Chains A and B, each alone.
Chain A
Amino acid sequence: MTGFMRAFKSALAGLALAGLAAAGLQPAAAQTPPNVLIVGQIAEPKSLDPHAVTAVNDFRILMNVYDGLVRYRDGTLEVEPALAESWEISDDGTVYTFTLRQGVTFHDGSPFNAEAVKFNFDRMLNEDHPQHDTGPFPLAFFFSAVEEVTVEDEYTVTFTLNEPYAPFLSNLAYPTGLIVSPAAVEEHGQDFGRQPSGTGPFKFVEWESNARVVVERNPEYWEGAPQLEAVVFRPITDANTRVAEMLAGGIDLMVEVPPDNIAQFADDPMFQVYEQAGPHVWFLILNMKEGPFQDKAVRQAVNYAINKQVLVENVLQGTAEIAAGPTPPAFAWAYNEALEPYPYDPEKAKELLAEAGYDGEEIVFYVTEGGSGMLNPVAMGTAIQADLAAVGMNVTIETYEWNTFLGEVNAGLEGKADMAEMAWMTNDPDTLPYLTLRTDAFPSEGGFNSGYYSNPEVDTILEQARRATEPEERASLYMQMQEIVHEDAPWAFIANWKQNAVATDRVQNFELQPSFFLLLKDVAKQ
């Protein structure tokens, strides 16, 4: 008997010793090395082939390994030259001629030239291309207007579009427009996504599944070698664990910090908190085909009844700003500054409801449990339900898992629901209204206008804006559109998300971008 007691006690002692041994070893290991940046990502990347992926999480790596023909100017969503030094657009807006930067090589040593550019777009768009089977390329439709890519000479390439398509340049600045090495694609085939090669400031070193992706400084980068020696991207899917790693010193930089933890980091001098509003809008789709929301007064009443201030301050804890209309302010050049958010005014909402003769009919409200850009959808949905109840609206929530939710909502709300949560992040002011607010974008037509908003004036403006090649003209058309949509209220406009990040005080020169990409070229670490 005493033998067992002894064994029990010595086992406990052993455990304690192991703890002490670990204690002696660990603190040194927790310190990350200088000039190597360790980034806490929210998930394992799907692929490092920029044409094969759709997630912002993957873009964060890709933007540092590849370049596009054009890119967004630092701190804006305006396009500037990158691998293309300049370009010309034909008067009818259908022919884009790019003059390419000379002397640039891919990380695998092969040259960047007009042939390489043609290869990239042919691979995505042309089903007969020998490397088309290295897909699928889910966002290839960004370039569906491209009819042909022609090599004029070694450093001149022409894109012929089948119709004028003004968002073309900003789509080129999107990760789907990044240029991959044709030689590497030919060599690795389907495995190119795990053996990537681009022209960017960092070269791919290794991808250890579920542990890390490592990239190192490209000393030959055409814009000058980056400061950091290497960057390690580390997937940590659980947000609490990501915060714990940050606090324990295991990572230098993390994105998508849970709102609950922002204050804790902000109060600690060891950490720097970054925030940047992006091209994101969180809204409620209102079903205009049937039920109470056919009446504009009821739709406006919803906009007045929701206390957006409380939503962004309390539910989202300051990680978002109140949205005024359908276009996020991050598109500064196309944003209508004159637009004011619907004020919180329950009395006005009640008046409008009475005027419309709303008598407490049930309103079915689709809420998602999570999902890309959806922030805190269940808490948001519940708070909105309470606000609407306060003005006499009888809202029933139905909650769905994100994938199911998308399937239901994208197919259109008719016969199912009166109202649904939704959020979009886009790269051009055209994308969201064009896909969700036109008559030709009804779900039956393959679009995302799940609430069946239809205003011929908006349809015309959006078509005109696509054809306008002058930015000023486009901008003024989008501003008009925002005013009309704001008044028609096909949605309840709720919030624009501010992306956040936290870095240790050793990280320097880091800035978040409105594009939500993570650009590490100029970052340094002590």
Chain B
Amino acid sequence: MLAYFLKRLVMAVPVLFGLTIIVFLIMAMIPGDPATAILGAYATPENVARINEQLGLDRSLPEQYFIWLGNMLQGDFGRSYSLNRPVIDEVLERFNATLILAGASLVLCTVFGLLAGIVSAVRQFGWTDRIVTFFVLIGISMPSFWLGLLLILVFAVNLRWLPPSGMYAIYGGGGPLDLLTHLALPAFTLSVVATGVVARLTRAAMLEVLRQDYIRTARAKGLSERRVIYRHAFKAALVSVIPIIGIQAGFVLGGAVYIETVFQWPGIGRMLVQAISTRDLLLVQGGVLVVAASYVLFNLMADMAQHALDPRLKT
């Protein structure tokens, strides 16, 4: 188990390394440059050249890349020129915010997705199934940024129950309760699509398991229905649902880009959008690297959980 884990970790290294090259090349290829972004209307060739020189962007591409790589391996991710602070400070601070948001949505989508999936599988074609499926399909189909705006309109502007944006109250805020009230709307919005996906797949997995012979055997033995579903069926279905949750973890990280913009959540998704539009290469590199590493890690964790649950995968 440990050997497998380590092997997977080692395999992630070339992936991340390749990713930094791709990001670097894409940023070099897209038109526009940081100097133009900084100077705006005043971007004369002369001024652009001066800024590029000051930022070290007048060097050749490979040279720039290897300087960055060398520094990065020593733990120096460089300085963001659009934010004027070390990349690593910004990225870690932002990633922390994104983890809180994505973590909360992941919990929501797992709990509600599993519950909804099981309920509709157990009551297949019944009214509960139809109602749950109806809402699940609406959830999957609704663009999340639009849902976010609607929720802001209802709960923040009209009812004034929850704050419309930010992570903490701007004045006299702080504390877990303050965080929770700010987290409620974005976390819920971000979880909706993922909840739907988890629910649909749980339903399918449960239906398949419930048709198996051993379930009939369990029922024939006279076990209570609750025990059949929970002990026998759900555990088996979970094995195929867990990788899906792992994928959803990556999905909520990606989806956080829109949600963070709508709710002004100070996370890494919004940071990346700004970094790209200001052509802040070092910030993009640092951000993408952290997001990709965590994506790899989430999938690895899902695999581990699957290993632990599925006796067939034990070596």
Interface of A with B (CB < 8 Å)? 1-5, 7-8, 11, 18-19, 22-23, 25-27, 29-30, 32-33, 36, 38, 43-44, 46-47, 49, 52, 54-55, 135-136, 138-139, 141, 190-191, 193-194, 209-212, 232, 234-238, 240-241, 244-245, 247-251, 372, 401-404, 406-408, 410-411, 424, 443, 446-448
User: What is the CA–CA distance of A193 and B41 in the complex, to the nearest angstrom?
Assistant: 23
Q: List 26 A-B contacts (CB under 8 A).
A: A4-B119, A5-B119, A11-B112, A26-B181, A33-B172, A38-B170, A47-B84, A49-B84, A54-B42, A138-B39, A194-B84, A210-B266, A238-B264, A240-B262, A241-B152, A241-B164, A244-B152, A250-B164, A401-B32, A402-B277, A404-B30, A404-B32, A406-B36, A406-B41, A407-B43, A443-B45
Q: Is the CB of A245 within 8 A of B165?
A: yes
Contact code string B104-127 (vs A, CB < 8 Å = 1, else 0):
000000011001101100100000
Q: Is the CB of B163 within 8 A of A250?
A: yes
User: What is the CA–CA distance of A245 and B173 in the complex, to the nearest angstrom?
Assistant: 16
Q: Is the CB of A23 within 8 A of B159?
A: yes
Instruction: Please name all residues of chain A whose beta carbon is closer than 8 Å to the beta carbon of B43 when the two chains form the complex.
Output: 406-407, 410
Kindly provide the distance from the CB of B255 to the nearest chain A CB, expressed in whole angstroms. Answer: 16
- Beyond A244-B152, A244-B165, list 4 extra A-B contacts (CB 8 Å): A139-B42, A209-B266, A237-B274, A407-B33
Kindly provide the distance from the CB of A29 to the nearest chain B CB, expressed in whole angstroms. Answer: 5
Kindly provide the distance from the CB of A191 to the nearest chain B CB, expressed in whole angstroms. Answer: 8
Q: Is the CB of B32 within 8 A of A406?
A: yes
Q: Is the CB of A22 within 8 A of B162?
A: yes
User: What is the CA–CA distance of A232 and B51 in the complex, to the nearest angstrom?
Assistant: 31
B313 contacts partner chain A, Cβ-Cβ < 8 Å: no
B161 contacts partner chain A, Cβ-Cβ < 8 Å: yes
Q: Is the CB of A211 within 8 A of B168?
A: yes
Known: A136-B54, A210-B266, A211-B166. A403 touches B44 (CB 8 A): no
Q: Which of A26, A209, A237, A443 contacts B160 (CB under 8 A)?
A: A26
Closest to B178 in A: A29
Q: Is the CB of A46 within 8 A of B84?
A: yes
Q: Is the CB of A11 within 8 A of B115?
A: yes
Instruction: Please name all residues of chain A whose beta carbon is closer than 8 Å to the beta carbon of B163 when the two chains form the complex.
Output: 26, 29-30, 248, 250
Known: A22-B184, A406-B41. A38 touches B171 (CB 8 A): yes
Q: Is the CB of A446 within 8 A of B32?
A: no
Q: Is the CB of A4 within 8 A of B261?
A: no
User: What is the CA–CA distance of A136 and B178 in the complex, to the nearest angstrom?
Assistant: 39
Known: A19-B161, A136-B55, A403-B277. A232 touches B41 (CB 8 A): no
User: What is the CA–CA distance of A99 and B166 in the complex, to the nearest angstrom?
Assistant: 46
Within 8 A of A (CB), among B31-57: 31-33, 36-47, 50-51, 54-55
Known: A25-B181, A245-B164, A248-B156. A238 touches B39 (CB 8 A): no
Contact code string B79-97 (vs A, CB < 8 Å = 1, else 0):
1001111000010011001
Q: Is the CB of A244 within 8 A of B157?
A: yes
B15 contacts partner chain A, Cβ-Cβ < 8 Å: no
Instruction: Please name all residues of chain B whose beta carbon is closer than 8 Å to the beta carbon of A7 when the two chains form the complex.
Output: 115
Q: Is the CB of B169 within 8 A of A29?
A: yes
Q: Is the CB of A1 within 8 A of B226?
A: yes
Q: Is the CB of A8 within 8 A of B119?
A: yes
Known: A138-B38, A193-B84, A247-B157. A447 touches B44 (CB 8 A): yes
Q: Is the CB of B41 within 8 A of A403?
A: no
B77 contacts partner chain A, Cβ-Cβ < 8 Å: no
Q: Is the CB of B122 within 8 A of A4?
A: yes
B72 contacts partner chain A, Cβ-Cβ < 8 Å: no
> Secondary structure at chain B's binding surface: helix, strand, loop or mixed?
helix
Closest to B234 in A: A4
Q: Is the CB of A237 within 8 A of B264?
A: yes
Instruction: Please name all residues of chain A whose beta carbon is closer than 8 Å to the beta carbon of B161 when the two chains form the complex.
Output: 19, 22-23, 26
Instruction: Please name all residues of chain B whose beta carbon is closer than 8 Å to the beta carbon of A54 when the two chains form the complex.
Output: 38-40, 42
Instruction: Please name all residues of chain B whose beta carbon is closer than 8 Å to the beta carbon of A241 when the two chains form the complex.
Output: 152, 164-165, 262-264
User: What is the CA–CA distance of A44 and B280 in the complex, to the nearest angstrom?
Assistant: 15
Closest to B227 in A: A3
Instruction: Please name all residues of chain B whose beta carbon is closer than 8 Å to the beta carbon of A26 when the two chains form the complex.
Output: 160-163, 181
Q: Is the CB of B31 within 8 A of A8?
A: no
B203 contacts partner chain A, Cβ-Cβ < 8 Å: no
B252 contacts partner chain A, Cβ-Cβ < 8 Å: no
Within 8 A of A (CB), among B172-226: 172-173, 177-178, 180-181, 184, 225-226
Known: A25-B177, A232-B171, A410-B44. A46 touches B160 (CB 8 A): no
User: What is the CA–CA distance of A19 and B40 in the complex, to the nearest angstrom?
Assistant: 45
Closest to B128 in A: A5
Per CB-CB distance, the 7 closest pairs between chain A and chain B, nearest first, are: A403-B32, A210-B266, A404-B31, A136-B54, A244-B164, A23-B161, A47-B84
User: What is the CA–CA distance of A245 and B157 in the complex, to the nearest angstrom?
Assistant: 8
Closest to B188 in A: A15
User: What is the CA–CA distance of A55 and B37 in the complex, to the nearest angstrom?
Assistant: 10
Kindly provide the distance from the CB of A384 to the nearest chain B CB, expressed in whole angstroms. Answer: 20
User: What is the CA–CA distance of A438 and B153 in the complex, to the nearest angstrom?
Assistant: 51
Instruction: Please name all residues of chain B whose beta carbon is closer than 8 Å to the beta carbon of A2 when the two chains form the complex.
Output: 226
Instruction: Please name all residues of chain B whose beta carbon is closer than 8 Å to the beta carbon of A212 when the two chains form the complex.
Output: 170
User: What is the CA–CA distance of A235 and B166 in the complex, to the nearest angstrom?
Assistant: 9
Q: Which of A1, A30, A238, A251 contacts B225 (CB under 8 A)?
A: A1
Q: Is the CB of A30 within 8 A of B39?
A: no
B147 contacts partner chain A, Cβ-Cβ < 8 Å: no
User: What is the CA–CA distance of A1 and B83 in the complex, to the nearest angstrom?
Assistant: 54
B5 contacts partner chain A, Cβ-Cβ < 8 Å: no
User: What is the CA–CA distance of A209 and B82 in the complex, to the nearest angstrom?
Assistant: 13
Q: Is the CB of B94 within 8 A of A210?
A: yes
Kindly provide the distance from the CB of A512 to the nearest chain B CB, expressed in whole angstroms. Answer: 21
- Most chain A CB inside 10 Å of its own CB: which residue of B36, B90, B173, B177: B36
B241 contacts partner chain A, Cβ-Cβ < 8 Å: no
User: What is the CA–CA distance of A327 and B280 in the complex, to the nearest angstrom?
Assistant: 34
Q: Is the CB of B41 within 8 A of A234?
A: no
Known: A46-B82, A46-B83, A209-B266. A4 touches B229 (CB 8 A): yes
B17 contacts partner chain A, Cβ-Cβ < 8 Å: no
Instruction: Please name all residues of chain B whose beta carbon is closer than 8 Å to the beta carbon of A245 when the two chains form the complex.
Output: 164-165
User: What is the CA–CA distance of A33 and B41 in the complex, to the nearest angstrom?
Assistant: 39
Kindly provide the distance from the CB of A516 to the nearest chain B CB, expressed in whole angstroms. Answer: 14
Closest to A132 in B: B54
Kindly provide the distance from the CB of B126 to the nearest chain A CB, expressed in whole angstroms. Answer: 11
User: What is the CA–CA distance of A404 and B31 in the complex, to the nearest angstrom?
Assistant: 5
Instruction: Please name all residues of chain B whose beta carbon is closer than 8 Å to the beta carbon of A448 when the two chains form the complex.
Output: 41, 44
Within 8 A of A (CB), among B227-249: 229-230
Known: A1-B225, A3-B226, A403-B31. A238 touches B262 (CB 8 A): yes
Contact code string B132-167 (vs A, CB < 8 Å = 1, else 0):
000000000000000001001100110111111111
Q: Is the CB of A211 within 8 A of B266?
A: yes
User: What is the CA–CA distance of A261 and B51 in the complex, to the nearest angstrom?
Assistant: 38
Instruction: Please name all residues of chain B whose beta carbon is closer than 8 Å to the beta carbon of A232 when the two chains form the complex.
Output: 170-171
Q: Is the CB of B156 within 8 A of A244?
A: yes
Instruction: Please name all residues of chain A whose beta carbon is closer than 8 Å to the beta carbon of B55 when the two chains form the complex.
Output: 136
Instruction: Please name all residues of chain B whose beta carbon is closer than 8 Å to the beta carbon of A44 when the two chains form the complex.
Output: 83, 274
